[in-house]
Structure 1
Amino acid sequence: MDTRRSVQAGEADRAGIRARGGSLAPGRVVGDGRYRLLAQFGVDERAAAHLWRARDGQLKRDVALTLLVGDPADPEAARLARRTLERAAHASKFGHGGVARVLDVLSLGSGVTSSEGLLGVVVAEWTKGSDLVDLVAQRPVAPAAAARMVQALAEAVDHAHQNGLVLGLDHPQRLRLTPGGALKLAFPGPLPEATLRDDVKALGAVLYLLLTGRWALPGGPPAVPAAPLTPQGHVVPPRSLVPAVPAELSSLAVRTIEDGGSGGIRTSSAILRVLDQVAENEERTQLIQSVGQPEGEADGTIWTTKKPVKDVARRRKLAFGVTVLVVATVVILAWGGLMLINLFQGDNKASGPAINVAAPPSNSAPPQNSAAPPPSSAPAGPKVGDPAKPDSASIYNPQGSGDNAGRVKNTIDGDPGTIWRTDEYQQQLPALKPGVGFTVAFNDPVKLAQVKITADSPGTKVEIRSADKKNPQLDDTKVVGAGDLNGTDTTITLQQPTESKYFIVWITQLGDNDGGGFISEIGDASFLPAQ
């Protein structure tokens, strides 16, 4: 009887939330008349949060609104709403590509009136892209694509947790898929009692949803079916529902969601390490399969491209176009050479009085002191040019396979938001190995003067080494510069400009991980040649 009453009370509360939210309709204006509602994208009934796209009438742009619906006269509801707003306000100082930026937080008496039937509003930038629930309603996502999509979200969680922030992404309608294929928290506003562990479990639930089309946590939207349970009350592994799911990915989802057992995954950094390996293995497998796949056979991914067409006429046109381009380039270079020759010849024929360079100018005063001024005591550093773009980046680890090899390309992609990180070690270097790092290779030798590293790993020590080949022994490399990564951007000036095709960024000391252990990460590395 008590259980029935509890269920009935919960249903009554949800009915009340829906009734109060029913007054929200497209065209209505909230937030002191600033935001006009355009379309609703979901309801998180656990927090009485209605998720809307709206138009900012002042700045003339679309925004994402998380509307906290409730009765201002209810002290408990008002308290919970204030806690959510406080957490959202703290998140406004956090910036990451996986989380929509919080623009404003409105509370009762400060942008929200009691007559609106709202307890608060979280205003965030609008995220273009697709609705996650609509995506999985069509069919489950291919495993490799699912791993990549959750990777971006896990990186955001990892950064937020390092700053002590809870994101609150444990509801699928709060997420959107960007045009670039990454998941993003589009409607920030964590639940009042949400914890860091809830964010981690949410990553497992999102992965489960992408792989199976089912939601494995309480409080999901009615449009998404719940994940089935075993007779013992455990979540059924995704592989049991979709046999194409790799065993590692299926195990990762279940171990992240469930609390019990010693094999559970409890940190976002651990999820990232597994996702890196699974995504790399799955992409390699799909590549091998695609080579032997018959033409016209469906590959099962959500993004497809047309298979190459054997068009002889098209190839002839392409070859002709390339030939014309090459001929035009030769003509331009020849014309430029003739112009330079004429320029120098014209200078030799220039008329004018002869100048004796050994004699001082006739109208200049004699020098007061014939001695030359002393040189500056501080030698000037080398002048540097624009960054040289490496052709490739690869893990350098003479004593093993290296750390996160699948993401080392992030160090040279020009985007500090994409991270390469080492594994997490329980002992500081060089207890287990002398160091860990990566090699960058250039098409042609570069005379390097500086290396600029963007990172958030205080305590990390780095050496810049030159090498004669891509994978040399450590003793065959030469240290040409060193520095400590104690700020967001660190510029390491080489002892002297060094020319080579291969340079190694070698970590000799890892940063401290707040949760224990040692780990370092690098967002971007720029290589500045001497002028």
Structure 2
Amino acid sequence: MIESEVLVSEVVGRGTVLAGRYRVLSPVVSDLEGASAWQATDQILDRPVRVRILEHGAVAPALDAARRAALVTDSRLVRVLDVGTHEGYGYVVSEQLVGPSLARLVAQEPLTADQARAVVGEAASALEVARRRGVHHLALRPSVLHVSPDGRVLVGGLALDAALLGDSGGDARSTSRADAVGLVRLLYAALTGLWPADPRTPQTPGGETLPPAPIVDGAPVAPADLVPGVPNDLDTLCVVTLGPNDDGPHSPGELVRELEPWGEIRSSVSEPATPGGAVTALFPPTGAAAPGGGVPVPHEHDARDTAPVTVQRNSVRSAFQQQDPPGANRPGTPPPATPARNRSVGAAAVESDTAAATTPLPPAPTPTPRPQAQPQPQPLPPPVPPSVQRRPVSQTTSAAPAASSVPPVAREPRPQRQPEPEPQPRDDDPFDFGDVIGADNGPPSKNRFNATALVLIVVVAVVILGVVLAFRALFSSFDPASGSADEGPEPSQSAAAPPVAEPSEGAPAEEPPAPVAAPPVIASATSIDPSDADGEHEEDVAKAFDGDPGTYWYTQTYKRDDFAGFKDAVGYVINLAEKTTVSTVTLRTNSAGGNVEVRATDAANPTAGTVLASGAFGPDTVLTLNPPTETQSLVLWITQLPTASDGAFRLEVTEIELS
């Protein structure tokens, strides 16, 4: 152990620059064996960062876990900024941890119930976000939970600490349950100032620790028996979850529902500046002495438990809720206004209206009034200048003014005329056909358009066209191109059509074609990672055969096509609905290059049996099995990573088809 520390100090120490960017400054406390922590600065972005140097142990799984943790984005999770190696040692760069840990917060006195609920509730919300991305912590303890000076909860060591401790997790249910129990242990520690360690797991040596909680009958003593004033719901939650039975929440999301609602983390804490390392409590004690002595000054948080505080918080629901759809509750566009209809038809009327609007009207004789088919009393329009006044054709016109300078004069209402004998009835149709085809009996105007003549011309043209087509169809048999009796003998029936073979009496009847076998159906799939029991992006394996080319299953991203030396290969297991003969495997990917092998085996023995097909990846990779094999599961064993569209080494499979 001493020799290893000496070797590390020779490679990484104060002033060491990692990846030509991160300058190491000073060491900080680390409670994990085989890993040291350092304060550093990012020389490119000029910001403080934290560097973890992985000295020995499960270095490759830890680096891979850090890469998976970097895919989870939440303001309450310490972000992983970079992962790499330096002279044989792995390192992980993350944002700086600010504020005291939970262990230092409760060193003097436990937190109040509402603050313990808020701190652990925010941590549970963050880990639920990570769980939905397939990443778990699995190493929760008081030293990884921090409260920043602005009242923000920070959880560090996501997935990385568990890999350094050699905990590879398990299935999705057991890992989610482990994080939920770990969060309840943090709640117990926040309420009591004692750590209810798991008796099956030895406490992690070194670092910031708390006194152990008393154990009775294999379970920690209830928090209400140790600290007065613990609410009944929190006490029951700790007793049930940390008891001998598998009760309580089974995921961080279920714990969120048990704890909510919670209020604001109302006080912030700063790192101690005194050499003794004393930590200011989350809430200063009631009646703290005023600076310089004198009468104690009541603290502003003395009545913090008298009324709940409701504030807007970033919970797990707000992290996953769907945003309001764009355009919701937008006012509709009003329909366009109905344009005024000009009853005068024809280009001549338009031209005359345009000319009247631009030039003054010359003196015109009074036209003879024309009788209407039916009186249409209408309200008089407001007076308008004579130069732009328009009159419907169907109404009786009045004499135009002699000059444009004559001011408008109010006209008397026109007397209604007696209707003609047997007038044509008019319906409520807004279009007046009488104005177009001769409802007026007055003398015709030279500017009127005669629609009857146009209709007659169209009808005559259609009749002539129909007659021509009928004659052509009738006399088409006399067309020389079609052949006639004058050109020669009529071809024989055998020449016109090939003879149909008559089946003989003794010959067997022709068998119907064999039905085409249905393609194999993929029932499920799973991924194999030799270095991690969780596989590679297990939550997305079904996207490779969901019929949607826009979704895909993908591997982790590496700097080299040989998985950067962390593993030899990655597997993808295809489970069929029933045992079927498989001839070809078609892979549609967003990657190019690499190598894949196909075997008729299962997840328990992914490299068993012979290689039935192999090849490189491409947009459409067709792997033909030699020979076609009857099986119920296939393993795609990726021995070399292809190149993705961004230049990194990663496989992205959009669709898998079998035949």
Shorter-chain-normalised TM-score: which range?
0.3 to 0.5
Which gives a bigger RCO, structure 1 or 2 (Cα 8 Å, sep 6+)? 1
Structure 2 length-normalised TM: 0.38
Higher Rg: 2
Structure 1 length-normalised TM: 0.47
